[in-house]
Each structure stands twice: as C-alpha cells, then as structure tokens.
Structure 1
Amino acid sequence: MKNESNGIHDSKSATRNQILKASQEIFEKYGYKKTTIDDIAGELHKGKSSIYYYFISKEDIFRAVLDKEACELKEEILAAIGRTNNPKEQITSYIEVRINAIKKLGNLFDFQKKQYLSLENAKELRAKYETIEIEVIKSILDEGVRQGIFTIRNTYMTALSIMTIIKGLEAPILMEAEETIKERLEEMLPILFNGISAVAK
C-alpha cells in the first residue's frame, strides 16, 4: 500500500513538473499577460481541468515558475562559488553565472525588471528574489573582509550596489555576442575590485 501511495505521489509530481516546464517556455515566449491557461493546456495536450488540478490559476503557475527559476539560479551560483575559497574569484563566478543565466531563466529576469501590476504582491516577490542574491554576495564580501582582501564599511550596501550594477548590464547583454560580454566583464571587474580591495600599508 505504501509503495502504491509513493507511486501516485511520484506520478503527480512528474505531471506538475511537466506543467511547470511547459509553462516556463510559454511565459517566456508570450509573456505573462498574453499567456492563457488554454495555451499551457494546448502545449501539453491536456484539458484545462488537468491544469487546474495542480494549480488554482495562471498566477499560481507563474509564481511556481519564478520560484523554480530562482531556485535554479541560486543552485548554479552556489555551485560556482563553491569551487574556490578566493572571494574575488567567487564574486567573478557569481557575476558570470548570473549573466549567463539571463537568457536561460528569462521569466525571473523579466519579472525583476518590469512592473507586474496585475500580479498580487509583485513587489514583495521581487524583494524576495533580490534578497536571495544579496545574501549570497554579502556572505562573499564578509569573508573577503575577514581575510583582509576587501575593505568595506557596509557589506550589505556594497552587495546591493554590485547587484544593481549587474542589473544595469542585463539589457545590453541580451543583444550582445558572448565574446563581447566577456570583454565587458574583463573591463568591469578590475574597476570593481580596485574599488573594494584592501590597500597594503
């Protein structure tokens, strides 16, 4: 009986993930406002009732997609910065991962830069996703200060500033070739590090 119950749970989880995957692609293609439950159901060759069994509304699906992409981004960032103990290299890894994720996690980045007035608690949601990233950057900066690599009075505000700078690069990055993006980073990172690195006395 227990194995049968687990099988049903796994099947429901798999179906829910299929809906999320299809919705992720459709939202990115048409945008939140233009996407309908009919679009999602049609993509999956299912009836709308099948979608409503797992999600109560289009907004509910979109929130789940945003959570999925935010989780994927955090996992990629943590994996990248976990490959080194050097705070400068960790900041570089964070920036590279975030920039490379812009095209792959389009819904999350689109949501963060646009006004979703029709989405309930949009402001709180945006703050939630930004806080996740700020905390990661701040932890790197705190360690850099502890090691004497960075000289920073307020690591939270510096983390916020770094994220704001990266956000400013998002629009041009979407239109640039990979080599151009790499060149832009190579020019930007020394400016960033020279500004926060500790000066030898």
Structure 2
Amino acid sequence: MTTLAKDEVIKSDILDEAAKLFRHYGLQKTTMEDIAKAVGKGKSTLYYYYKNKEEIFDAVIRKEKNMMFRNIQDAVSREESAVKKLEAFTRSKMREIRRMTTLYQVVASEIKACNELEVSIRRNYDCTETEILKSILHYGVITGEFPNYDQQELETLAFLLANAQRGVETALIMDQKLEEIGEMMDVLVTVLMNGIKKS
C-alpha cells in the first residue's frame, strides 16, 4: 500500500469514528483524546492529519454532505422529466436528512460556536444544492416543461427553491417532526409547480 493510500485509510477511519462520537456526545463534549482512543491511534497521529477537533468536524460534515449530494444526483439522473427530477431531488434529500438527522442536529445546535466553520460549511452546501436545482430548472427549459427563463431568472428560482425547502427542513427538524418532511416537501413541490390559485 502506498503512503498516500495509507494516509487516506487512516483519515477515513478518523472521520468514521469521529462521526460516531459527534452523533453520540456532540461537538463540544467530544475530545481529540476520545477520537484517538476510538480509532486506536495516539493523539499525535490525529494532530498529524488535523489541527483540532473542529477541523475533524468540518471534514466529517463535508464527507457526509458529499455522500448526500452523490445520492441526490443519482436519484435526479434516473428521472426523465424536469418535474420528476424536482420531486426526486426533494424526496432523496428527505431520505438523506433522515439518515443524517442526528449529525444535522449537532451541526444546528453547536456549530454556532465556531462561526468561521459555520460559514464555510453553509456556503459549500448552499452552492452545491443551488447548482443541482439550477441544472434541473435549465433542463426543464430545454424540454419545454418550464418557460424560457434566462440565466438570471434561473439563478433566482434555484435560490428561492433551495431556501424554501431548507426553511421547511430546518423548522421540522428543530421541532422534531422529521416524519412530516416527506408530506411537506410534496406539498411544496406541488405549490411550486402549480401555484396556489384556483385554476
């Protein structure tokens, strides 16, 4: 095994074990010593790869988010129409949030203490999500399902759609009503596609 491959295996082990600890104890109560013990390495090994637990937490969140977006992209790519792609986006995102919910709650409740980390994670997440939605909307314009929006309008719509969904998700997660996410997202997509006025 090359040194690079070995380093990647060790880093992956660190992130996997750290994720379990963050889920169970939260960011503030988890120490570098806890993570080192869980991985079966000395603290010096952790410090070789990461400056502190916040950097490990950042890497854990990025890894989880990357997996989440890969799964969402897979679900979206399997659908033929833009409307079905939007539905696939919201449903697969809902499944991923359920899978990640404990870690999501840790992020929501504790990351405020690390403002620079919060901004970095949020910006990365927001950009990726908005880009996926923009590509779905653009696809809908090409197929004729949606009006002929220009680039600026597509960016505005993607931004509004991402933030509308995020607002619903956050409210339901904070109120511990995760089981209602699917139903709420279906209503949101229906309203976005058809409006709320009587036809």
Into which bin does the TM-score normalised by the smaller protein fall? 0.7 to 0.9
Separation in structure 2 between the aligned mates of residue 113 and residue 130 of structure 1, nearest angstrom: 18
Residue 3 of structure 1 is matched in structure 2 by: none
What percent identity do the matched residue pairs reach?
Answer: 29
The alpha-carbon distance between structure 1 residues 155 and 111, as it changes in their structure 2 partners (threshold 3 A), is farther
Deviation at 1:187, TM superposition (A): 2.9
Per-residue deviation, 1:91: 0.6
The offset of 1:97, in angstroms, is 1.4
Query: Shift of residue 108 of structure 1?
Result: 5.5
Supply the distance in 2 between the matched residues of 1:28 and 1:11 (Cα, whole angstroms).
26
Shift of 1:31: 2.4
Matched, 1:184 2:164: no
Q: Counterpart of 1:46 in structure 2: which amino acid? A: K
Instruction: Say which is worse superposed, 141-150 or 116-125, in terms of deviation.
Output: 116-125
Unaligned runs of 5+ in 1: 1-5
Q: 1:155 to 1:109 in 2, by over 3 A?
A: farther
SS at match of 1:35: coil
Tell me which amino acid in the other structure corresponds to 1:159. Answer: A
SS at 2:27 equivalent: coil
Equivalent position SS for 2:195: helix
TM-score (norm 1): 0.81
More helix by share: 2
Aligned to 2:122: 126
2:53 corresponds in structure 1 to 58
Q: For residues 39-118 of structure 1, what are the structure 2 equivalents within 5 Å?
A: 39-106=34-101, 107=103, 111=107, 116-118=112-114
1:87 to partner: Cα distance: 0.6
Ranked by relative contact order (alpha carbons within 8 Å, sequence separation 6 or more), the top structure is 2
- Alpha carbons 2:82, 2:139 under 8 Å: kept: yes
CA gap of 1:149–1:97, structure 2 versus 1, over 3 A, is same
Residues 1:115 and 1:121: Cα distance change in structure 2 (over 3 Å): closer
Question: How many residues are aligned here?
Answer: 191
Which of 25, 31, 35 matches 1:36?
A: 31
Query: Aligned equivalents of 1:41 and 1:7: distance in 2?
Result: 23
Q: Which runs of 5+ in 2 are unaligned?
A: none
How far 1:12 sits from its partner (Å)? 2.5
